[in-house]
Structure formats: structure tokens, C-alpha cells
């Protein structure tokens, strides 16, 4: 099977009341862990690459790894640019074989965001590629950009129709209280999402796919493994899984997860290295890391996304 765009995936997800997992990939073990899980559960999947991942692993390596996953799994897989910072990066990914891109103009003024998003949409659609835009600003860290909670802002529902109509985007990321990274809430703080905003956006954009960034749930199990085996990690708090499941039943068709993979991968390596201090073959310590990724993704498909078996429909 060739790469697919997100268009058909989202149509089916919207109608079926489930979401597609968009998992960040940076190396071979991560690609394999994610896609092996999706294969076992027959789930469609989005593999996404940030500008930082392209810098780390190089564009061609990541594209070829994803092509290998297509051969290995025969699943519907979309290859997506996560947080495209500008038109040039989006164009480079479109020209270089991605099936979907995000242009993140969320830090710009409304008019500037529309202008750059529209430019990306025109180029992407002419090349058969789908585009995700963003309105509202999440807190947290992404690619060295750290947005303080005070600078974050919820999406304004009264702006979404104009943004979608004027840009022609295929999906829209909104800010309803999720945030990037592993420390989304302070200890003792009760996690909350603005479901009222999601509902209002859904009413104003009927049958339109909404995206949630910053949607890791932060498994206490992996945090404790990292802490137990020498890691210096503060207690972290993520988005409760039942809230994400509820969002997936509403207009949310794409749920972005990276921090949960990072924690699982690191926990696998830390535990192995600590319990086998004499080992130095990377295949030995990367095997549990890859297995942890697979377990996390299977868990998300079943308990958060609700897309088990959806690759066959």
C-alpha cells in the first residue's frame, strides 16, 4: 500500500466516533514499535515528523523508514509534518514525499496565520497533500520553543469558520487545555479540558476534523521506572485518558502523542542498562525500548483512540 492522505482517514474517523493516533517518529525503533502495534490491531496510523526530527534523523532516512513500514505492514499510513514552522519547510516535505503537512501559524496574528496557511494549502492541494492548521496556542515545549502557561490561549470558536473558509485547510488543531510535554498540570492541580469550546467548534464546523495536540497521558508506571533506575524526573501529570476518549467521540479525529513514547522508550533503556550494567550492544537495550513503544501504542489504540480494526473498514 502507498502512503495515504488524512482525508479519507478523517472521514471514517468522524463517522465512526474514533480518532487516529498521530505519533512522532525520530528513529527506526520508534517507527517499528508504532507500526507493529498498529498492524497487530489493524489500526490506521499517522506517523509525524517535527522539524527537530528532520534535523536529527534527516528527511530521507525518515521517509525511507516509513516506506519500509508500509511494505512491512500494508496498513493505511499517513506521513505528516508536525508543527511546520513556515511555507518553505512545508514545501520541502510536500516535494519530498509527505502525504500531509501542518502549518503552525498559531503564534501569528489571525490575518498572518490565514495568509501563510492559505499559501501552504494552495501548494499542498496542487500536489495531492492534506493540510492541518492551528488556531489558539498551547502551553509547553516543542522544538526549543517554550510557551508559558500565561502566553497560551484557548481557541476562540467565533474565529474558526472564517479561518477554515478563507484558508481551505483540511483539519484544524485547537487549544482546549492540553499542552506539550510531560508536565501538563502542577501536582495537586485537577486536569481539565474545555469541552464547551470543542462542542461549540464542532457546531460551527459540522463534519470537520479537529486535532488535539499535547495529548499524552503520562503513565505513572514509566515515570516510576525512570525514577527508580537513576533518572531525575519530577512527578509528571498528563491528560486523563477518559477525557481523550470523550474528545475522540466528538469532533476530534487526530490525537497527537509524543511525550508518552519518549517516557516509554527511556524507561526501557534505563531499566535494561541498570539491570545489565555490563551490556553494551545497542540491540539489547533498544529491544525493550521498542517493545515499550509497541505496548503504549496498543494501549492508546484500544483505550484512547478507539480505532482498533478500523484499517479494514
| Residues annotated as catalytic (active site), given as ranges | 82
Residue whose CB is less far from ligand 13P, 76 or 177: 177
Task: Kindly tell me which of 182 and 269 has the beta carbon lying closer to ligand G3H.
Answer: 182
* Contact call for residue 270 and ligand 13P (CB under 6 A): no
Q: Decide: is 89 part of the binding site for ligand 13P (CB under 6 A).
A: no
Assess 260 for contact with ligand G3H (CB under 6 A): no
- Start-to-end C-alpha separation, the chain: 15
Q: Does 254 bind Zn ion (CB under 5 A)?
A: no
- How many whole angstroms separate alpha carbon 6 and alpha carbon 17? 16
Tell me the residue nearest to Zn ion as measured from the CB: 213
User: Which residue in 12, 54, 118, 213 binds ligand 13P (CB under 6 A)?
Assistant: 213
> How far apart (Å, rounded) are the C-alpha atoms in residues 230 and 35?
30
Q: Helices H, strands E: what count in the chain? A: 12, 10
What burial class does residue 124 get, using C-beta atoms within 10 Å of its C-beta: 0-12 exposed, 13-18 middle, 19+ buried? buried
**Contacting Zn ion (CB under 5 A), which of 54, 213, 254, 290?**
213
DSSP strand E in the chain: where? 20-24, 45-50, 77-84, 100-103, 130-135, 140-142, 145-147, 171-174, 210-212, 252-257
Residue 83 in contact with ligand G3H, rule: CB under 6 A: yes
**Per CB under 6 A, 24 contacts ligand G3H:** yes
Residue 241 CB neighbour total at 10 angstroms: 15
For residue 79, which of 68, 88, 87 has the smallest C-alpha distance?
A: 68
Could you tell me how many residues of this chain bind Zn ion (CB under 5 A)? Answer: 2
Tell me if 115 sits within 8 A of 136, measured CB to CB: no
Q: Using the rule CB under 6 A, is 216 a contact of ligand G3H?
A: no
- Among residues 170, 258, 260, 271, which is the contact residue for ligand G3H, using CB under 6 A? 258
Residue 131 touches ligand 13P, criterion: CB under 6 A: no
SS3 74: coil
Between 37 and 57, CB nearer to ligand G3H: 57
What is the closest distance, in whole angstroms, from the C-beta atom of residue 243 to ligand G3H in the complex? 19
216 binds ligand 13P (CB under 6 A): yes
Q: Which stretch binds ligand G3H (CB under 6 A): 46-54, 121-129, 219-227, 229-237?
A: 46-54
Contacts (CB under 6 A) with ligand 13P, residues 20-79: 24
Cβ neighbours of residue 44 closer than 8 Å, sequence gap 6 or more: 4, 9, 12, 20, 38, 75, 76, 77, 78, 307, 310, 311
Binding segment for ligand G3H (CB under 6 A), chosen from 49-57, 106-114, 119-127, 269-277, is 49-57
Radius of gyration of the chain (CA): 18
Instruction: Confirm or reject binding of residue 80 to ligand G3H (CB under 6 A).
Output: no
Which residues contact ligand 13P by CB under 6 A? 24, 82-83, 180-181, 213-216, 256-260
Which residues contact ligand G3H by CB under 6 A? 24, 50, 52-53, 82-83, 142-143, 180, 258
Amino acid at each position: 500500500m502507498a502512503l495515504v492522505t488524512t482525508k479519507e482517514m478523517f472521514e471514517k474517523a468522524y463517522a465512526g466516533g474514533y480518532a487516529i493516533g498521530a505519533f512522532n517518529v525520530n528513529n527506526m525503533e520508534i517507527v517499528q514499535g508504532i507500526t507493529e502495534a498498529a498492524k497487530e490491531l489493524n489500526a490506521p496510523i499517522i506517523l509525524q515528523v517535527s522539524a527537530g526530527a528532520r534535523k536529527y534523523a534527516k528527511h530521507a532516512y525518515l521517509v525511507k523508514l516509513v516506506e519500509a513500514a508500509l511494505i512491512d505492514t500494508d496498513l493505511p499510513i499517513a506521513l505528516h509534518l508536525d508543527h511546520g514552522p513556515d511555507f518553505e519547510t512545508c514545501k520541502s516535505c510536500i516535494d519530498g514525499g509527505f502525504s500531509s503537512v501542518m502549518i503552525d501559524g498559531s503564534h501569528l496574528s489571525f490575518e498572518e496565520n490565514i495568509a501563510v496557511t492559505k499559501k501552504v494549502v494552495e501548494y499542498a492541494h496542487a500536489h495531492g497533500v492534506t493540510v492541518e492548521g492551528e488556531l489558539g496556542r498551547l502551553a509547553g515545549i516543542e522544538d526549543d520553543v517554550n510557551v508559558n502557561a500565561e502566553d497560551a490561549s484557548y481557541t476562540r470558536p467565533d474565529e474558526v469558520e472564517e479561518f477554515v473558509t478563507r484558508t481551505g485547510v483540511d483539519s484544524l488543531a485547537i487549544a482546549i487545555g492540553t499542552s506539550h510535554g510531560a508536565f501538563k498540570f502542577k501536582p495537586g492541580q485537577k486536569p481539565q479540558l474545555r469541552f464547551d469550546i470543542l462542542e461549540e467548534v464542532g457546531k460551527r464546523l459540522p463534519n470537520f476534523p479537529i486535532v488535539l495536540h499535547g495529548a499524552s497521558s503520562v503513565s505513572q508506571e514509566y515515570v516510576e521506572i525512570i525514577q527508580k533506575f537513576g533518572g531525575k524526573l519530577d512527578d509528571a501529570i498528563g491528560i486523563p485518558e477518559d477525557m481523550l476518549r470523550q474528545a475522540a467521540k466528538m469532533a476530534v479525529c487526530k490525537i497527537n502523542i509524543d511525550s508518552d513514547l519518549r517516557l516509554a522508550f527511556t524507561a526501557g533503556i534505563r531499566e535494561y542498562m541498570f539491570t545489565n550494567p555490563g551490556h553494551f550492544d545497542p540491540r539489547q537495550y533498544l529491544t525493550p525500548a521498542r517493545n515499550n513503544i509497541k505496548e503504549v501504542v496498543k494501549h492508546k489504540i484500544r483505550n484512547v483512540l478507539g480505532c482498533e480494526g478500523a484499517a479494514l473498514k
